[in-house]
Amino acid sequence: MPTLKALRRRIDQLDRRLVALLNDRAAVAAAVGRLKLTGGQGTTFSPDREQAVYANAMAASRGPLSKEALRAIFREVMSSSLGAVVAPTIAYQGPPMSFAHLAARRKFGSQVTYVPCATIGDVYGDVERRRADYGVVPIENSLEGTVGYTLDRLVETELVISSEILQPIDHHAVGACPLAKVKRLYLHPQAHAQCRAWIEAHLPAAKLVETLSTSMAAAMAHNHPTDSAAIASEEAARRYGLSFLARSVGDSSRNVTRFLVVGRTVARPTAHDKTSLVFSIKDRVGALHDMLAPFRRYRINLTKIESRPSRRKAWDYYFFVDLEGHAQTAAVAKAIAALEERCTFLKVLGSYPASA
């Protein structure tokens, strides 16, 4: 049986090989990045290539590392590669360690430049004005539903959806004082809606103070340490040096927010894609049924459909649809073409790799 010293010597040897391989990979990735920039692509991020790297890593693994561990490792490897030539700039809503920031880091890793924005509109604006390469915006929560403003801006903007992120949401009660001394609770409105039962059971008399983000809530609790607490993420609590008064205080353990990455990158088809589009129709009996017929004909699975006022005139609606497949594949392209013939307006918002 090998000794501890021998095993550690083996680890040191493997680490040296890993460092050499990682540097070789970074050099090749930098060459790829320079070719892309020379070719006018403007950014080194490729959503379809990212998907392929993860898939290749999972397929090559025989354990004992889990898929999630491998994904985290390769996220940082690719993040370092993105910054090897020109690090992309990522805009997101909220201060650092808000859930939008956590979602952005989940996608792009730690080796890119992050820009916090006050509002979702500011995120779009920074990317549209080329102050940022990509923006990360919330589109829907599994408990609270769709973010309407994000949908409205997708109709108006020239940007496309390049990717999506599924960010688990785990709320914690945090503060610098004991729970029994809490008189004020800082929280985002979404956090309030998602933690209502815990708040009513444990802090029924506390004054609830709404903030623009969960990270801001943690900052406020930090600024009022003697009698205040916040509902925030673990990362926000650690950033502001707060203690955990209660963990996982959400009403449901299946709380996930879906974020979109918006930019100018059009993702190429992969084996597992999603397309988002929006259309409007004439107001007549059976119109929506007729609009959906092409998807049935070409056997396209719709994963979401939602209506929203168009704001052009009263009782005029946009219909937002998510479907399985890429707009460049034959069946989806035919279905969209058939739909467009029947619409008063249609826009493909983006085709992109679907999150696992």
Same domain, 6 and 68: yes
304 vs 85: which has the higher pLDDT = 304
Q: Which helix or strand (DSSP H or E) is residue 231 part of?
A: strand 228-232
- Structural domain includes residue 96: no
Mean pLDDT of 310-337: 88
Same domain, 18 and 64: yes
At residue 312, the pLDDT reads 67
Identity at 56, one-letter amino acid code: N
The span from the CA of 236 to the CA of 95, in Å, is 10
- Structural domain includes residue 259: no
Strands 184-187 and 228-232: parallel
- Structural domain includes residue 232: yes
Backbone dihedral region of 40: left (phi > 0), alpha (psi from -120 to 50 degrees) or beta? left
In terms of residue numbers, what domain contains 227?
A: 172-246
Same domain, 292 and 229: no
Domain boundary among the residues 23, 56, 85 is at: 85
**Could you tell me the CATH number of the domain that includes residue 179?**
3.40.190.10
Same domain, 236 and 285: no
Instruction: Kindly tell me if the per-residue pLDDT of 243 is higher than 80.
Output: yes
Instruction: Kindly tell me if the per-residue pLDDT of 41 is higher than 70.
Output: no
- Structural domain includes residue 231: yes
Query: Hey, which residues are catalytic here?
Result: 257, 259
Instruction: Kindly tell me if the per-residue pLDDT of 82 is higher than 90.
Output: no
287 vs 251: which has the higher pLDDT = 251
Domain boundary among the residues 64, 85, 106 is at: 85
At residue 140, the pLDDT reads 94
Instruction: Kindly tell me if the per-residue pLDDT of 356 is higher than 70.
Output: no
**Could you tell me the CATH number of the domain that includes residue 340?**
3.30.70.260
Same domain, 204 and 238: yes
Backbone angles phi, psi at 60, to 5 degrees: -80, -15
Please answer whether residues 288 and 252 qualify as being in contact, where contact means their C-beta atoms are separated by less than 8 angstroms: no
The length of the chain is 356
Instruction: Kindly tell me if the per-residue pLDDT of 314 is higher than 70.
Output: no
At residue 285, the pLDDT reads 63
Same domain, 80 and 1: yes
**Could you tell me the CATH number of the domain that includes residue 56?**
1.20.59.10
Instruction: Kindly tell me if the per-residue pLDDT of 40 is higher than 70.
Output: no
Same domain, 336 and 284: yes
87 confidence band (pLDDT: 50, 70, 90):
confident
Q: Whole-number mean pLDDT of the chain?
A: 91
- Structural domain includes residue 160: no
- Structural domain includes residue 122: no
Identity at 165, one-letter amino acid code: I
Mean pLDDT of 59-79: 90
Q: Which helix or strand (DSSP H or E) is residue 196 part of?
A: helix 196-202
322 vs 144: which has the higher pLDDT = 322
Please tell me the total count of domains within the chain: 3
The span from the CA of 36 to the CA of 90, in Å, is 19
Which of 120, 146, 162 minimizes the C-alpha distance to 304? 146
The span from the CA of 162 to the CA of 47, in Å, is 7
Q: What is the pLDDT of residues 273-309, one digit of tens each?
A: 999 999 998 766 667 778 889 999 999 999 999 988 8
User: Residue holding tokens 């279905």?
Assistant: 335
Domain boundary among the residues 66, 85, 104 is at: 85
At residue 185, the pLDDT reads 98
Instruction: Kindly tell me if the per-residue pLDDT of 8 is higher than 70.
Output: yes
- Cβ partners under 8 Å of residue 3, min gap 6: none
Backbone angles phi, psi at 98, to 5 degrees: -70, 165
Mean pLDDT of 5-30: 92
At residue 179, the pLDDT reads 96
Instruction: Kindly tell me if the per-residue pLDDT of 315 is higher than 70.
Output: no
The span from the CA of 198 to the CA of 221, in Å, is 18
- Structural domain includes residue 274: yes
Q: Which helix or strand (DSSP H or E) is residue 259 part of?
A: strand 256-263
Q: What is the pTM of this model?
A: 0.89
- Structural domain includes residue 252: no
